[in-house]
Homo-oligomer: A and B are copies of this chain.
Amino acid sequence: MKRLRALLVAICAGTMLFTMVDAKAARPSLILTAEGVEAIRQSRQTRQTYSLFEASLEDAKTRVERSIAEGVLVPTPVDPGGGYTHERHKENYKVIHDAGILFQLLGDKRYLRHATDLLLAYAEIYEDLPLHPAQKRQSPGKLFWQNLNESVWLVHVVQGFDAIADALSDKDRATIEDHLLRPVADFLSLQNPETFQKIHNHGTWAAAGVGMTGYALHDPSLVERALLGLTGDGTSGFLAQLDQLFSPDGYYTEGPYYQRYALMPFVLFAQAIDHNEPDRKIFEHRDGVLLKAIDATIQQSYAGKFFPINDAIKEKGLDTQELVYAVAAAFTRTGRNDLLSIADYQGKTVLTGDGLAVARAVSEGAGQSFAFRTMMLRDGPDGDQGSLAILRMGDGPMAQTIVAKNTSQGMGHGHFDKLSYILYDNGREILTDYGAARFLNVPSKDGGRYLLENQSWAKQTIAHNTLVVNESSQFGGDWKRAQKYWPTVRYFEAGERLNVVSASLENAYPDTVIERTVVQLDHPAFAAPLLIDVMSASSQEKTTFDLPFYFDGQIVGFSGALQANTESRKPLGQAHGYQHLWVEATGQPTDGPIRFSWLNARRFYTLHAVAPEKTKPVFVRTGANDPDFNLRDQQGLILRSNGRKAVRFLSVIEPHGIYNPAAEFTAGSDSQIARIDHVFEAGADLIKIEMKTGEIIRLAISNDPDSEKTHRILSAGHEWAWRGFVTVLEEE
């Protein structure tokens, strides 16, 4: 299969070379095109201006005018991320980009002059620069501490160049091409083959920079290098990355935080390809995987922020610049009006023909709410390496959303958190994912890098809402081993009132199989949907199973007696993240149901757990063994079962009530559920939820994807029969 693909790619490459020689598209021809410039000029000449576009134009003007006032500042690279020279070179690439585009759109020669001066200043020094003095362990740059930044720099700068190239003197153009752009492109490819050939977002950025430089310099060899890799056989390069980094559903294996970042070079370079070689139909490649990836990126968000799975900065969301480009590219290619609501949320657009179209449509009121939906994003190049399931119930931004992470490892930034989930409700994150331990670009926090605690805590299994076996992380915390395995998705169904996903995981622990079924149920007896979660595991040995729930909010109720560690605290364990958890309180081992309530902002939540016999509840809080105060505060409840070979945890999470201290109004702070019973028999789960009103809700889970088979379960003398994986049983 892989060889076939390589072959096809090689054939395409031949075509490409042929086309290239022929077609020197009129500059600019990367993201901004000559047609786009014409449309924008015309629109502005006829005074048809649109606020989103004008706001972005003003931003660019402000940036460039400030830079003109400051003068040409191209300092010798010294500082790591967050430091002066780092930020200056970042700012400069934006200035060169914006100045070039403003020159095209407004015709003001001051912008041409400033872009030229900056480019010449870089051309003056670039070739003689040594590797950056604060170089990162891997892949150093020259202008920046890592060459990833240098690729991003090139992707922007070459666009600025492309916009002014035809207005430059031959001498200046040659200087910039020969002493800056080509050397940077060579540095990022020939001199850094390891990064360049990686199937990884760093490689995509490099390919985009090199390939766009190829188009701008009318140099097909650079384009070929970018598309097919250094060896030219398509085993690396942009097309291989497009084939391998996204799943057929447009899921990016590292998760949404890196997806939105990785997306940008894909979207930019693809547009440049589309503008220079439309016959490639790059946006139709692999059944339109790039457009699917843009949609998937937006789908992987709640209340404007991306799901913080894997290494992720939690503040990152839909207003990120990367997605501004993606929305504009997708809107003109799909006509999807619901993308306009995202553009509106972003409050800006790109200064291209696509951006103008977005701004116009928003101004004309064509926007619709983004179509967030329940979906399963398969992981892996062929879609067979697990999945991310997104269960949604309700409309709009407050809709309850469950994110079940049954994906593959996602490489080095992946967390050992298979079968975990996040619960969002009422506009907030209720059962949380810690995200990454990192303070982006803060020099005092290890230069803004991932902190040691990212490894020792954030990646570990115990830091997530999933089962931990014998106090150790999945795959022993070895990501390279983890990379070889993924959960098996047993079942997925999206319905009007019931969503379900079920997956199993082997290999994560020796001789242990773990299964989890997550149901989202909208039932008239409840004001908000229930989350119903059956987590089971079996092992060969007597085992300690820990099932954590990291909640956000204030504890307002617990069903049993708690032994609180009021006078002294100790960590829960020694390794695999356990060393970072203070034990706040311990409950008595219990055979009965556990009930725990917390208050998050304006709503109450109750976890009803039917756990294995003698399960011990443990309240924990992050912060132990954190001498540098690198961890954020996070509370959790761990259900600990000790000394059993097999366990089955039923957890029902019930949102209820309203807490409004501003209006001094509180209602429904008590759970509506009186009692929950759980029967597991002949492979099927029967869950009985008894309301305080006396009403009874029964849910049956057959654990059998065969939709035709009839299942039967006997409970309290009554035989229940049903078809399907999961169903709400109705009394006859």
Contact = CB atoms under 8 A, between A and B. Distances in A.
A607 to B, nearest CB: 14
A441 B554 contact: no
A633 B632 CA distance: 11
Given A440-B664, A441-B665, A443-B669, 16 more contacts: A316-B662, A317-B662, A320-B663, A321-B663, A439-B599, A439-B659, A441-B669, A442-B556, A442-B659, A442-B669, A444-B669, A448-B666, A564-B626, A566-B626, A584-B629, A633-B633
Interface stretch (A155-163, A232-240, A519-527, A567-575): A567-575
A313 B661 CA distance: 7
A443 B566 contact: no
A319 interface: yes
Contacts of A633: 633
A555 B444 CA distance: 10
Interface in A413-440: 439-440
A591 interface: no
14 contacts: A87-B665, A319-B662, A439-B556, A439-B661, A441-B664, A442-B659, A442-B666, A444-B557, A562-B627, A566-B625, A567-B625, A568-B568, A585-B627, A633-B633
Main secondary structure of the interface of A (DSSP, over half): loop
A661 B315 contact: yes
Most chain B CB atoms below 10 A, which of A442, A597, A659: A442
Contacts of A554: 439, 629, 632
A582 interface: yes
Contact of A556 (B81, B321, B444, B582): B444
A82 interface: yes
Nearest to A81: B666
A701 interface: no
A624 to B, nearest CB: 6
B582 A670 contact: no
A34 B440 CA distance: 63
A627 B661 contact: no
A398 interface: no
Categorize the interface residue count of chain A: 35 or more
Contacts of A626: 564, 566
B570 A316 contact: no
Interface string A539-560: 0000000000000001111000
A82 B669 contact: yes
A667 interface: yes
B441 A627 contact: no
- Please give me the 9 A-B residue pairs with the lowest Cβ-Cβ distance, nearest first: A441-B666, A564-B627, A555-B629, A315-B661, A569-B569, A566-B625, A444-B557, A440-B661, A82-B666
A445 interface: yes
Interface of A: 81-82, 87, 313, 315-317, 319-321, 439-445, 448, 554-557, 562, 564, 566-571, 582, 584-585, 597, 599, 619, 621, 623-629, 632-633, 659, 661-667, 669-670
Contacts of A670: 443-444
Contacts of A669: 82, 441-444
Contacts of A443: 669-670
Contact of A444 (B82, B597, B621): B597
Nearest to A82: B666
Nearest to A557: B444
A498 to B, nearest CB: 30
A199 to B, nearest CB: 24
Contacts of A442: 556, 599, 659, 666, 669
A346 to B, nearest CB: 11
B566 A627 contact: yes
Nearest to A441: B666
A629 B551 CA distance: 14
